[in-house]
Structure 1
C-alpha cells in the first residue's frame, strides 16, 4: 500500500472520530425530560389540613398527666459572723495592763483606731526584761503619726488619779477603758485567796474608772458620799441626779464603755465579774466568746513574763470571754437594782433575769 492511501485512511478515521464527538456533545446540551421520581421531588403533593381527630396527640397516652417537676431546695446555713469589736475607729481608748502592748498595737495598726493609749503595770525596764516582743512593737507604735502614747507603772485601781491619764490626748473624757485579762499574778496555790485578790483588783479598777472612793475609804469620805446622796434625794423637784466625782471632770464619759476580757472556766468564773460591776454601779451590757483572730498580732503574755524556750501554756489556745459594761447615772443603776430585787421577790424560788445579752456561746 502506498503512503498516499495510508494518509487518506488516517484522515477519514479522524473525521469519523470528530463526528462522533460532535454528536455526543450535541446530545448532552439538550434538556432531558425528568423521570417520574424527579418530577415528584420537584412538585410535591399539596398538604391537606388535619382535622382535630387526625391531629397527633402530644403524648402516647392521652389520659396520662404530666409528672410534676420536683425542685430540690438547697438549704444553706448562714455563715456565723464574728461579733463586732467594741472599739470604734475614733473612740478615745485607754488600755490597762497591756503587758507587751501587743493589744495596743493590734487596735492601732490592724484596726486603725486613731486615738489609743496603752499602759502597763510594770516599769519600762521591767517590760523590756520580761517581754522580748516589746521593742519591735514599741518601734511600730512610735513610727505612727501621731505616735501612740505608751505609759508604764500604771496601777489600774488608781487609774483616774494619774494626771497624765485624766483625759484623752484631745482633752476629752475617755470613750472606752479596756483591761485585757486582769490578774494579780503570783504563784499562790490557794484558790480562795487568789479569787479574793482578783476580785479586789476588779472592784478597785471599776471604782477608779467611775471616780468613786475606794471601798476602804475613810469614814469622812463615806460620810461625804452619804451626805451627797441625801442632798440629791432632798431636791424639791426630785429630778436632779447626783453626778460621780462632784465637779471633777469626767474620766470616762457618761455612756462610755468598760471592756474586760477573762478566760473561761474556773477560777475565773468564781470572780463573778458581772456582780462586781453591778455592785460598783456599772450596767452589764453584754458578753461574748472572745475571738483571738479578730486582733491580728495580739498575743497573751504572762504576768510573770515570758518563759525561756517558749514553754508553758499559750493564752491564744484557751477559750475566753469579753465583757462590756456601761457607765450610767448612779440613780439609774440603783433604781435598776431595786426593780430587780422586787422582781426577784415576786417569783417564788426564782431569780430575777438580768438585762445582759450573752452573745454567741
Structure 2
C-alpha cells in the first residue's frame, strides 16, 4: 500500500472514532434528561456526610467520630526504657506493657500489700503467674507509697542501687479512694497525692560507695557536703517523663494536674486522649477493689486523658544518658543477632 493510501486510511479511522464518540455522548444526554411525567413521590433528601468520614451516616444512627491515623498518638513507653509504674491495681497495665508492647524493663508497684491485692482483685492471680513466667520475670513490689519512692532501696537508681535513674514513671488513674463525700475535701486529698508523687519523681538519693571506710559523724557530714555530683543519683533521669492518666470531666479537671506539676518543678510536655485499645488486656479497677456484679460502670467506657511531664535538667547529663541508652540498644541488638 502506498503512503498516500495509508494516510487516507488513518484519517478515515479517526473520523469513525469521532462519530462513535459523538453518538455515545448524545445517548448519555438523552438518558440524563428528567422524565416529563409528574411524579407523586417527594424528592429524596440529601444525606449529610460526616466531616471525618467518607460515608453517609444513616438518620437513625448516631454520628461516629473516626480518629484519623495522623491524629493518633504514639504510645509514650519505649521498649528499652526503664519504666516504673506506681499505684497499680491488678497489674494489668504492667502486663500490657511487658507482654503486648514488649517493654523489657518494666517494674510494677502497688500501694496495697500482696494480701490486699489478692483480696481486692480476682484477676490478679493469672496476671501474676504470667508475669512470673517471663524471662526475666517482671518485678512486682507491694506496699509502695507513690509519694515516698526514694525511701525504697529496691527502687533507687531505676534498676537497683547501681542504676542511673528511671526513664519513665507512670501513675495510672491516681485516686485516694472514698475518704469523704465532700467534693472539696476529695479534691484537696487527690491534689496532695499528685504533688507528693511529682516531688518523689524529682527526688535525689545518695549512691553508696561500698569501698568507702567508716567515718565519724563529723567526717561523714563533711563528706556529704563536699560530695561530687556523680554520687547523687536522680530518681527520674534528666529529660525523663512523669506520666499521669485521669478521667475527663469533673471532679478530675478540678485537680489542675498541669499546675501542680509546674509548681513541683516539672515541665508540661503534652497531653492527649487516652486510647484504651492501645493497651490490650488493660482493665481499669477501682481503688476500693472489685465490686460484686461488676458495678454500675466500667472505666474503659469513659473518656480519659494522658498527661506527660518532663524533668528539666542538665543538658550534658541528658546527652550522657541518651548515649548510654543507645549503647544498650546496640548491645541488645548484637546479642539477638548472635542468637539467630
- After TM superposition, is the score higher than 0.5? yes
For the pair 1:164 / 2:148, whether they are aligned, the reply is no
**Unpaired segments ≥5 residues, structure 2:** 26-51, 55-66, 206-227, 316-340
Q: CA deviation at 1:50?
A: 5.4
What's the offset of the Cα at 1:159? 0.9
The offset of 1:188, in angstroms, is 2.0
Structure 1 residue 252 and structure 2 residue 236: aligned?
yes
TM-score w.r.t. length of structure 1: 0.62
SS in 2 for 1:139: helix
Q: What displacement does 1:59 show?
A: 3.5
1:177 aligns with 2:169: yes
Name the Cα RMSD after superposition.
3.5
- Counterpart residue number, 2:187: 195
Q: Max radius of gyration: which structure?
A: 1
Q: 2:93 aligns with which of 96, 100, 103?
A: 103
- Residue segments in structure 1 that go unaligned for 5+ positions in a row: 1-45, 70-74, 214-242, 332-361
Answering whether residue 316 of structure 2 is matched by residue 326 of structure 1, we say no
Matched, 1:211 2:211: no
Residues 1:311 and 2:295 are matched in the alignment: yes
The 1:284–1:59 alpha-carbon spacing in structure 2 relative to 1, beyond 3 Å, is same
Match of 2:253 in 1: 269
Give the alignment partner of residue 80 of structure 1, picking from 60, 69, 76: 69
Tell me what 2:326 maps to: none
Q: How far apart, in 2, do the equivalents of 1:158 and 1:52 lie?
A: 94
Shift of 1:132: 0.3
**Pairwise CA distance, 1:330:** 9.0
Contact 1:281/1:330 (<8 A) preserved: no
In structure 2, the residue matched to 1:224 is: none
| Mapped partners of 1:152, 1:56: distance in 2 | 91
Aligned to 1:292: 276
Figure out how many residues of one structure are paired with residues of the other and give that number.
250
Measured in 1, the distance between the counterparts of 2:18 and 2:293 equals: 84
Instruction: Using the TM superposition, give the Cα deviation of residue 53 of structure 1 relative to its aligned residue in structure 2, in angstroms.
Output: 9.2
Q: Within 2, Cα distance between the matches of 1:131 and 1:285?
A: 33
Alignment partners' CA distance in 2, 1:47 and 1:161: 102
How far is the alpha carbon of 1:79 from its aligned partner?
3.9
